[in-house]
């Protein structure tokens, strides 16, 4: 007689210490997201290359020294870095099978991410209205918004992804089916934080110093 | 391959191959019969790398033939088990080290030649021609001489000439295979190289970067003349004044039409109003009567000139002259042609070199 | 829920099966069919080009249409024919070779295929809607910015969609090889074709993102007025060239490394010997891939980068000859001392050796930048890359198809027709492309619509055109072979007395691949069992219910969403209403992504009884 399959192996009595890698699917997702990020690294490296080549092509418009205000950018960095830390807390609680605390810290991660995005939108609006510095106004503008905008797009995608995960799994608790999904998200979130560190240094700091 | 006999044999092989290859292709177009410094240097490297790589190819083919002759399964022979060989460290070493040496043999002359060809330190002591690539023609401005012309570029023989290349629209590439290797014509920066021709004559120039429908129709010529002829040509070009030409009735009417129909808005017919660095809208027609080709590709006959003026789009699809002037009647074309065929400032012409 | 036995299915069930399949073997069929179709399109484009060049100043087609032909021939052959067929082969065979039941992400696998299909369809629809792209397969930024009409926009949208699919495949295959090898299958026991799949997938992962960015930059400039390549606003078209070739050079290694893997399998199997120098071959593959990322500017020697850059890239380029040469010698030594059977697969492999070597030769010659100042953008380059792509990739595809056709389709391709395909095609290749090296050196640039009279280029071009028709003859005979052998005899599980795991299962493989995951005892696991065991692969697990993934229509639908969005991107400059298509298509696909994410899909199980029955059936 065929075994009745209710996928109960995904809902064990005692959760293993690393629930995100306890299944083949989990292992695949773990490696998959790392390889994906390898490709994303090259993607952002290309955008950085383009930015570095074009950052002085201001076509008579404002330059990086005139535009950038390090104060706001510092706040944005703190928001994003902290959100990475909170996601680490979330994963810690996941491995300790503490569903509620994981949710709490993931929620805070999301809020910090939204805060980052809000600051960035404000920053872009400020450049556009007060300086006429747009995507189309010079090669420098095109390169700046492409790089920083792409990163912002990745943050937005991450927030949408997180929101979907949190809503869908709110009533289910932690199991071996959704643990890899949370872990995959957190690895992605760390990545966009690392990219921001590079943006902060190469675009804003180097841009101010000239 | 270290003894003198092998080196001698290699040199002879070099020479024979070069000789045979030089028969290939049209004179003054082919890169295999170099008549200029750059083309010569390039051909040396072409031959060196060909000979080295051909020897590798021969080793591979010989091995392949031996294998097929000795180890091929005979017809009807049953399948048998043969010793399974893992590999051979010795062989791996041999066919790693020898290729590395061969790569070295090719790399060293390559790097040396690269720096030789890139040395533009004496640029200011030589003739400089500012070349602008357009869709679909070439403009040549002679720096310091205050003259300009299009399509046919005159240079003196055996002297280094610097060309400074820039594009007015899309990417092109400046290639005169018998004289030198090519260099791209970029819109955002000037590219500089020197050419030096060894023989007088008319050399074919080609555009070598896809630039639109008429990419294959933007031939130009490099006309290599003696030093005296070159001086004379420059002076003739400087002093020529198309407005002061004595013309017969037909050609005079042609000159008037040339202005009325708006041709003069794009085309200069002499260097009297020369402005350094100016990018004209259309080709300079100063030496039109003696041009090697009409529009770069048509043989200079009356019929072809008629064809070009009547319907340039049918000759060069996508060219910028189409629609830039009002339609011309046959009579008007005859008169304008008559005028254009009087634009002959100098006795030094391409025809005199062909 | 899949049907357990292939009972009589209606035509619509057959179609639905293929529309929703996530089975790597069926996806392989789809790739081969799609790639095959585009190969024929690309071949017709090639013949049109060669007819135009049969005589000087010909007017068979207009100059504008000619530029569309050369662009589409190159783009179609590389992105829509060669790559999909290669991906199809890797899909069909790699999981079997490592003893896995599917790839790591079967759903993504299906999505990859449909993205390729709809991307390719979008690109080719340009012919019907105002003209195909016409700035070359490289679509350099200054001409492609200038190109009127929407051809280039189709290029951007089509390749962006298809490219996304390829990138997903790369990730999929790497994860599969890392996590899903059968017990005993260590890395150094993997067959060379699997190694090639692995390394190629890493190349895909790192090479495609620069293309993605480049296409975005071109798209932003053309469709949204940005200034990346606009000189007036400080832009620079050389950036396009750098990004393109940082993708483009690894791309050609993506095209050839899997074929090197194929040839390693074929030489070993049909010499009845293990591959000579396995370790060196693995490392040579990795070295070629690694070096392949460091030489991109050899496509840009004449751009004016300066002598230092040119010298560095020249030396790097010539260095790649070393690991490639190592491979050629190892193949020859594999045959040495063996018993060499020459069938169709082996004919293609033997034809590859001289042809690809010539291509490699001219590659090193091109690597000397000073020589390249003459070769670049001339017919010499066209001769070179066709020798390596046709002599390497296309010959490899033919060889692989003959070799693995039984495993993929359960039939053997006809041998006589196979030989009749090979000889005209082989002779045609040399006739077509050898003379092009000379034409280039004689002063004929590439991408020329006409060559002028009285420039000594006539005879060479005529010979080249005749050769092209011979190649066409060979290709047609191959198509006939496919049709004829569909009605031929069924194939045995192991028609070639093979050495690797794929030959241990039936032809075609059962939908679950292995009833029990195999236990691997060494390199060439099937050969070991034949020599030292009972010819059967031992099992690594007891017989039990087998877990399989569910099919889904979502990949197909998602790709349609991006397809529609592509039209929106292309035409929004003409009329704002196209934004409905742009955002609507995207929203549709994103909604489907969310549905996939939130709807639980645990797959299904094949009951043990079915597997027992199948095993009994095989034993009879």
Q: pLDDT tens digits, residue range C437-453?
A: 999 999 999 999 999 99
pLDDT the model gives residue C4: 43
Q: How far apart are CA C460 and CA C54, in angstroms?
A: 9
In this prediction the pTM is 0.96
The string of pLDDT tens digits covering residues B257-285 is: 999 999 999 999 999 999 999 999 999 99
> Are residues C545 and A3, on separate chains, in Cβ contact within 8 Å?
yes
Distance of CA B99 to the CA centre of its chain: 34
pLDDT at C272 over 50: yes
Evaluate if residue C277 carries a pLDDT over 70: yes
Q: Give which of B196, B11, B55, B114 is closest to C371, Cα–Cα.
A: B114
Task: Name every residue whose Cβ is closer than 8 Å to that of residue B185 and which is 6 or more positions away in sequence.
Answer: B131, B132, B133, B165, B166, B167, B171, B172, B173, B174, B191, B209
pLDDT of residue B24: 80
> Around C77, how many Cα atoms within 13 Å sit in the side-chain half-sphere?
22
- Are B29 and C342 a contacting pair at CB < 8 A? no
Which residues lie across from C490 on neighbouring strands? C411
pLDDT tens digits for range A129-164: 999 999 999 999 999 999 999 999 999 999 999 999
Contacts of A38 in chain C (CB under 8 A): 205-206
User: Which residues on chain B are in Cβ contact (under 8 Å) with C449?
Assistant: 213-217
In this prediction, residue A8 carries a pLDDT of 85
CB-based burial, B156-193: b 16+ in 10 Å, e otherwise? bbeebbbbbbbbbbbbbbbbbbbbbbbbbbbbbeebbb
pLDDT digits (tens, 9 = 90+) for C585-611: 999 999 999 999 989 888 999 999 999
Q: Per the CB < 8 Å rule, is B73 touching C303?
A: no
Chain C contact set for B107 (CB, 8 A): 314-315, 318, 368
**C224/A46 Cβ within 8 A:** no
> Is residue B10's pLDDT more than 80?
no
Q: Which residue of C has its CA nearest to B25?
A: C442
The answer to whether B158 touches B196, Cβ cutoff 8 Å, is: yes
Q: Confidence band (pLDDT; 50, 70, 90) for C618? A: confident
Q: What is the DSSP string of B39-73?
A: HHHHHHHHHHHHHHHHHHHHHHHHHHHHHHHHHBP
Instruction: State the average pLDDT for chain C.
Output: 96
Residue C347 has pLDDT above 70, yes or no: yes
The CA distance from C455 to B30, in Å, is 9
Say whether the peptide bond before residue A80 is cis (omega within 30 degrees of 0): no
Q: C378 in helix, strand or coil?
A: strand
Q: A93 Cβ partners below 8 Å, 6+ apart?
A: A99, A101, A102, A105
A43·C213 Cβ contact <8 A: yes
**Tokens coding A57:** 């092509």
Q: Which chain B residues are closer than 8 Å to C378 by Cβ?
A: 208
Q: Which residue of A has its CA nearest to C239?
A: A50
Mean pLDDT of C524-547: 94
| Mean pLDDT confidence for C392-398 | 98
Nearest-Cα distance to chain B for C339, in Å, is 5
Residue B347 φ/ψ, nearest 5 degrees: -85, -15
Q: Which residues from A are below 8 Å from C223, CB to CB?
A: none
Q: What's the CA gap between C517 and C540, in Å, rounded?
A: 6
Q: How many domains does chain A have?
A: 1
- Asked whether the beta carbons of residue C209 and residue A40 sit closer than 8 angstroms, the reply is yes
Q: Are residues B299 and B166 in the same domain?
A: yes
Per residue in C297-339, pLDDT (tens digit) is 999 999 999 999 999 999 999 999 999 999 999 999 999 999 9
In a domain, residue A57? The reply is no
Interchain CB contact of A2 with C (< 8 Å) = yes
Place of tokens 């359960």: C410
CB contact under 8 A, A2 and C170: no
Given CATH 3.30.390.30, say whether it is the number of domain C23-552+601-619.
no
The number of beta carbons lying within 10 Å of the beta carbon of residue A170 is 10
Residues B297 and B325 in one domain: yes
Overall number of domains in chain B: 2
How many H-runs (helices) and E-runs (strands) does chain C carry? 22, 2
> Which CATH number characterizes residue A82's domain?
1.20.120.80
| Chain A (74-103) residues lying within 8 Å, Cβ to Cβ, of chain C | none
**What is the mean predicted confidence (pLDDT) over B42-66?**
97
Spell out which residues of chain B touch residue C522, defining contact as CB-CB under 8 Å.
none
Count the helices and strands in chain B (H runs, E runs): 9, 10
Say if residue B38's pLDDT is above 70. yes
Tens of pLDDT, residue by residue over C224-266, are: 999 999 999 999 999 999 999 999 999 999 999 999 999 999 9
**CB atoms < 10 A from the CB of A96, how many?**
12
Please state, in angstroms and rounded to a whole number, the distance separating the CA atoms of residues C176 and C190: 13
Residue-level pLDDT at C91: 98
Q: Quote the CA–CA distance of C67 and C65 in Å, as a whole number.
A: 5
Phi, psi of B183 (to 5 degrees): -145, 135
Contacts across the A-C interface (CB distance below 8 Å): 131
Quote the minimal CA–CA distance from C47 to chain B in Å.
Answer: 19
Quote the minimal CA–CA distance from B42 to chain C in Å: 5
Q: At what angle do helices C395-409 and C458-486 cross, to 10 degrees?
A: 10
Interface contact flag, B31 C374, Cβ < 8 Å:
yes
- Please tell me the predicted confidence (pLDDT) of residue C620: 66
Percent of chain B with pLDDT over 70: 97
Within chain A, how many helices (H) and strands (E) appear?
Answer: 7, 0
Write out the H or E segment, with its range, that includes residue C548.
strand C546-548
Contacts of A168 in chain C (CB under 8 A): 597-598
What does the pLDDT read at residue A4? Answer: 59
Identify the bridge partners of residue B163 per DSSP, sorted by sequence position: B129, B193
DSSP state of C534: -
CA-to-CA distance for B87 and B214, rounded, in angstroms? 56
Residues of B in contact with C325 (CB under 8 A): 56, 95, 99
Q: Rounded to an integer, what distance in angstroms lies between the CA atom of residue A100 and that of residue A90?
A: 10
pLDDT of residue C2: 43
The CA-based diameter of chain B, rounded to the nearest angstrom, is 97
Predicted pLDDT at C619: 74
From the list C269, C217, C260, C224, the residue with the least C-alpha distance to C239 is C217
Given CA atoms C363, C369, C370, C374 in this order, what sign does their dihedral have?
Answer: positive
Question: Which among C322, C332, C371 has the least Cβ separation from residue B67?
Answer: C332
* pLDDT tens figures, B282-307: 999 999 999 999 999 999 999 999 99
- CA–CA gap between residue C165 and residue C444 (Å, rounded): 37
Beta strands in C301-397 (DSSP E): none
The predicted structure's pLDDT at residue C15: 96
* Residue B187 and residue B283 in one domain: yes
Q: Mind telling me how many Å the CA of A136 is from chain C's nearest CA?
A: 4
Question: Over the stretch C18-60, which tens digit does the pLDDT of each residue have?
Answer: 999 999 999 999 999 999 999 999 999 999 999 999 999 999 9
Q: What is the domain extent for residue A115?
A: 71-210
Closest residue in A to C227 (Cα) is A139
C-alpha separations of B114 from B33, B107, B177 in Å: 21, 10, 17
C205 and A31 within 8 Å at the Cβ level: the answer is: no
Return the pLDDT at C164: 97
The whole-number average pLDDT for the span C123-128 is 98
Chain C CA closest to residue A32 = C175
For residue C7, the model assigns a pLDDT of 57
In this structure, the answer to whether residues B111 and B232 fall within a common structural domain is no
Share of chain C above pLDDT 90, in %: 95
Q: How far is B230 from chain C (nearest CA, A)?
A: 26
Q: Give the H/E segment covering residue C381.
A: helix C379-388
Structure confidence at residue C5 as a pLDDT band (50, 70, 90): very low
Residue C547 φ then ψ, to 5°: -85, 130
d(CA C477, CA B150): 53
Burial C316-330, CB ≥16 within 10 A → b, else e: bbbbbbbbbbbbbbb
- Which chains contact B through at least 3 pairs of Cβ atoms less than 8 Å apart? C
List chains adjacent to chain A, taking adjacency as at least 3 C-beta pairs closer than 8 Å: C
CATH code (residue B184) = 2.60.40.420
Q: Please, which residues have CB within 8 angstroms of residue C242's CB and are 6 or more apart in sequence?
A: A49, C296, C297, C300
pLDDT of residue B13: 75
Handedness of CA C296, C301, C307, C313 (dihedral sign): positive
Q: What is the pLDDT along chain A (210 residues), one digit of tens a residue?
A: 445 577 888 999 889 999 999 999 999 999 999 999 999 999 999 999 999 999 999 999 999 999 999 999 999 999 999 999 999 999 999 999 999 999 999 999 999 999 999 999 999 999 999 999 999 999 999 999 999 999 999 999 999 999 999 999 999 999 999 999 999 999 999 999 999 999 999 999 999 987
Query: How far is the alpha carbon of B104 from chain C, nearest alpha carbon, in Å?
Result: 9
Rounded to an integer, the average pLDDT of B151-174 is 97
A200/C contact by beta carbon, under 8 A: no
C549 → chain A, closest CA residue: A25
Report the residue of chain A nearest C103, measured CA to CA.
A28
pLDDT (0 to 100) of residue C16: 97
C233 and A59 in contact by Cβ < 8 A? yes
What mean pLDDT is predicted for residues C396-405?
Answer: 98
Kindly give the pairing relationship between strand B183-185 and strand B161-167: unpaired
Q: How many Cβ contacts (< 8 angstroms) between chains B and C?
A: 297
What does the block give as tokens for A11? 């809902």
Looking at the fold, whether B150 and B107 belong to one and the same domain comes out as no
Nearest CB neighbour to A28, from listed C105, C544, C600: C105
Q: Whole-number mean pLDDT of chain B?
A: 93
Distance CA C96, CA C526 (A): 12
CB C457, CB C442: distance < 8 Å: yes
Residue A15's contacts (CB-CB under 8 Å, 6 or more residues apart) are A97, A174, A175, A176, A179
Find which of C141, C172, C227 to mutate to test the A interface (most A CBs within 10 Å of its CB): C227
In C, minimum Cα distance to A138 occurs at C233
Give the model confidence (pLDDT) of C480-526 as tens digits. Answer: 999 999 998 899 999 999 999 999 999 999 999 999 999 999 999 99
Angle at C26 between CA C25 and CA C27, to 5 degrees: 90
Q: What is the largest CA-CA distance in chain C?
A: 78
Burial label, B72 (beta-carbon count in 10 A; 0-12, 13-18, 19+) = middle
Q: Which residues of C touch B73 (CB under 8 A)?
A: 339-342
Structural domain spans, chain C: 23-552+601-619
Residue B1 has a pLDDT of 42
Task: Evaluate if residue B81 carries a pLDDT over 60.
Answer: yes
Domain extent, residue B138, equals 124-354
User: Which string of DSSP letters, residue by residue, matches B113-177?
Assistant: HHHHHT--TTGGGSEEEEEEEETTEEEEEETTTTEEEESEEEEETTS-EEEEEEESSS-EEEE-T
Which residues of chain A neighbour C170 with C-beta distances below 8 Å?
Answer: 35, 39
- The reply to whether residue A32 touches residue C171, judged by beta carbons under 8 angstroms, is yes
Asked if the C-beta of A52 comes within 8 angstroms of chain C's C-beta atoms, the answer is: no
3-state secondary structure (DSSP) of residue B298: strand
């Amino acid at each position: 007689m065929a075994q009745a399959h209710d996928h109960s192996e995904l809902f064990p009595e005692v959760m293993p210490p690393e629930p995100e890698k306890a299944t083949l699917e989990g292992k695949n997702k773990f490696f998959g997201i790392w390889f994906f990020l390898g490709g994303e690294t090259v993607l952002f490296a290309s955008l950085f290359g383009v930015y570095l080549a074009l950052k002085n092509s201001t076509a008579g418009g404002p330059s990086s020294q005139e535009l950038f205000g390090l104060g706001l950018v510092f706040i944005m960095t703190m928001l994003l870095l902290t959100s990475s830390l909170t996601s680490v807390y979330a994963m810690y609680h996941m491995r300790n099978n503490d569903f509620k605390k994981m949710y709490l810290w993931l929620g805070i991660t999301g809020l910090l991410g939204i805060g980052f995005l809000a600051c960035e939108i404000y920053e872009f609006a400020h450049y556009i209205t007060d300086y006429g510095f747009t995507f189309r106004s010079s090669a420098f503008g095109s390169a700046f918004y492409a790089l920083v905008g792409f990163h912002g797009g990745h943050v937005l995608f991450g927030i949408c992804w997180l929101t979907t995960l949190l809503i869908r799994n709110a009533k289910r608790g932690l199991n071996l089916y959704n643990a890899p999904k949370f872990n995959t998200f957190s690895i992605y979130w760390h990545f966009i934080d690392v990219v921001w560190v590079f943006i902060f240094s190469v675009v804003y700091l180097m841009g101010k110093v000239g | 391959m270290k003894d003198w006999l092998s080196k001698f044999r290699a040199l002879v092989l070099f020479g024979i191959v070069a000789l045979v290859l030089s028969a290939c292709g049209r004179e003054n177009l082919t890169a295999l019969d170099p008549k200029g410094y750059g083309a010569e240097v390039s051909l040396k490297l072409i031959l060196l790398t060909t000979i080295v790589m051909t020897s590798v190819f021969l080793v591979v083919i010989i091995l392949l033939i031996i294998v097929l002759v000795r180890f091929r399964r005979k017809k009807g022979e049953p399948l048998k088990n043969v010793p399974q060989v893992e590999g051979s460290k010795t062989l791996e070493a041999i066919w790693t080290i020898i290729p590395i040496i061969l790569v070295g043999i090719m790399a060293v002359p390559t790097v040396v030649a690269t720096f030789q060809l890139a040395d533009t330190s004496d640029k200011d002591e030589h003739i400089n021609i500012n070349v602008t690539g357009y869709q679909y023609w070439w403009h040549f401005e002679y720096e310091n001489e205050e003259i300009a012309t299009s399509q046919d570029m005159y240079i003196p023989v055996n002297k280094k000439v610097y060309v400074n290349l820039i594009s007015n629209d899309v990417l092109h590439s400046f290639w005169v295979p018998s004289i030198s290797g090519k260099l791209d014509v970029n819109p955002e920066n000037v590219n500089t190289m020197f050419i030096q021709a060894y023989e007088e004559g008319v050399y074919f120039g080609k555009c070598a970067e896809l630039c639109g429908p008429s990419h294959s129709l933007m031939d130009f010529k490099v006309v290599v003349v003696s030093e005296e002829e070159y001086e004379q040509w420059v002076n003739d070009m400087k002093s020529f004044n198309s407005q002061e030409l004595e013309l017969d009735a037909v050609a005079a009417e042609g000159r008037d039409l040339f202005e009325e129909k708006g041709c003069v808005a794009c085309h200069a017919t002499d260097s009297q109003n020369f402005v350094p660095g100016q990018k004209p809208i259309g080709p300079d027609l100063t030496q039109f009567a003696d041009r090697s080709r009409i529009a770069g590709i048509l043989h200079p006959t009356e019929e072809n000139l008629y064809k070009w003026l009547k319907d340039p789009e049918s000759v060069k699809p996508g060219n910028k002259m189409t629609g830039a002037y009002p339609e011309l009647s046959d009579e008007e074309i005859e008169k304008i042609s008559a005028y254009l065929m009087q634009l002959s400032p100098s006795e030094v012409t391409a025809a005199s070199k062909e | 829920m899949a049907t357990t036995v292939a009972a009589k299915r209606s035509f619509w069930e057959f179609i639905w099966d293929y529309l929703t399949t996530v089975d790597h073997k069926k996806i392989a069929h789809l790739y081969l069919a799609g790639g095959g179709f585009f190969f024929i399109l690309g071949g017709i484009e090639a013949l049109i080009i060669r007819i135009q060049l049969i005589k000087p100043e010909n007017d068979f087609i207009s100059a504008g249409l000619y530029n569309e032909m050369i662009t589409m021939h190159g783009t179609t052959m590389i992105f829509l024919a060669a790559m999909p067929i290669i991906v199809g082969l890797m899909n069909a065979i790699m999981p079997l070779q490592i003893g896995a039941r599917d790839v790591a992400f079967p759903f993504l696998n299906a999505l990859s295929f449909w993205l390729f299909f709809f991307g390719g369809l979008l690109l080719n629809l340009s012919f019907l809607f105002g003209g195909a792209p016409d700035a070359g397969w490289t679509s350099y930024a200054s001409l492609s910015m200038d190109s009127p009409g929407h051809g280039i926009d189709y290029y951007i949208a089509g390749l962006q969609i298809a490219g996304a699919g390829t990138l997903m495949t790369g990730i999929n295959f790497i994860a599969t090889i890392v996590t899903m090898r059968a017990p005993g299958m260590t890395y150094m026991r993997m067959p060379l074709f699997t190694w090639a799949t692995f390394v190629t997938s890493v190349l895909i992962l790192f090479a495609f993102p620069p293309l993605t960015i480049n296409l975005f930059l071109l798209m932003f400039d053309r469709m949204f007025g940005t200034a990346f390549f606009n000189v007036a606003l400080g832009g620079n078209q050389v950036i396009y060239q750098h990004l393109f070739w940082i993708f483009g050079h690894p791309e050609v290694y993506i095209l050839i490394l899997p074929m090197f893997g194929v040839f390693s399998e074929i030489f070993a199997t049909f010499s009845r010997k293990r591959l000579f120098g396995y370790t060196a071959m693995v490392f040579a593959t990795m070295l070629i891939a690694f070096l392949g990322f460091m030489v991109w500017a050899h496509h840009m020697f004449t751009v004016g980068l300066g002598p230092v850059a040119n010298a560095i890239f020249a030396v790097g380029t010539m260095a790649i000859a070393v690991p490639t040469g190592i491979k050629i010698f190892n193949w020859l030594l594999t045959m040495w001392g063996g018993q060499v059977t020459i069938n169709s697969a082996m004919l293609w492999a033997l034809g590859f050796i001289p042809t690809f070597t010539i291509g490699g030769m001219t590659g090193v010659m091109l690597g000397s930048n000073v020589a390249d100042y003459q070769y670049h953008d001339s017919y010499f380059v066209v001769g070179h890359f066709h020798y390596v792509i046709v002599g390497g990739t296309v010959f490899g595809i033919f060889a692989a198809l003959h070799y693995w056709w039984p495993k993929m389709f359960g039939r053997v391709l006809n041998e006589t027709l196979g030989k009749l395909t090979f000889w005209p095609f082989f002779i045609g290749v040399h006739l077509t492309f050898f003379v092009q090296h000379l034409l280039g050196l004689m002063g004929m640039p590439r991408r020329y619509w006409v060559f002028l009279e009285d420039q000594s280029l006539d005879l060479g071009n005529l010979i080249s055109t005749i050769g092209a028709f011979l190649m066409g003859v060979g290709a047609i005979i191959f198509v006939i072979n496919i049709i004829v052998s569909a009605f031929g005899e069924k194939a045995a599980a192991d028609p070639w007395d093979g050495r690797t795991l794929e030959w241990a299962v039936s032809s075609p493989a059962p939908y679950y691949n292995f009833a029990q995951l195999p236990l691997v005892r060494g390199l060439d696991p099937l050969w070991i069992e034949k020599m030292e065991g009972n010819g059967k692969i031992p099992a690594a697990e007891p017989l039990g219910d087998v877990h399989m993934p569910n099919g889904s229509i979502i990949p197909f639908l998602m790709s349609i969403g991006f397809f529609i969005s592509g039209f929106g991107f292309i035409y929004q400059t003409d009329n704002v209403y196209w934004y409905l298509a742009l955002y609507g298509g995207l929203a549709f696909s994103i909604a489907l992504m969310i549905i996939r994410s939130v709807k639980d899909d645990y797959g299904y199980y094949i009951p043990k009884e079915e597997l027992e029955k199948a095993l009994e059936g095989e034993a009879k």
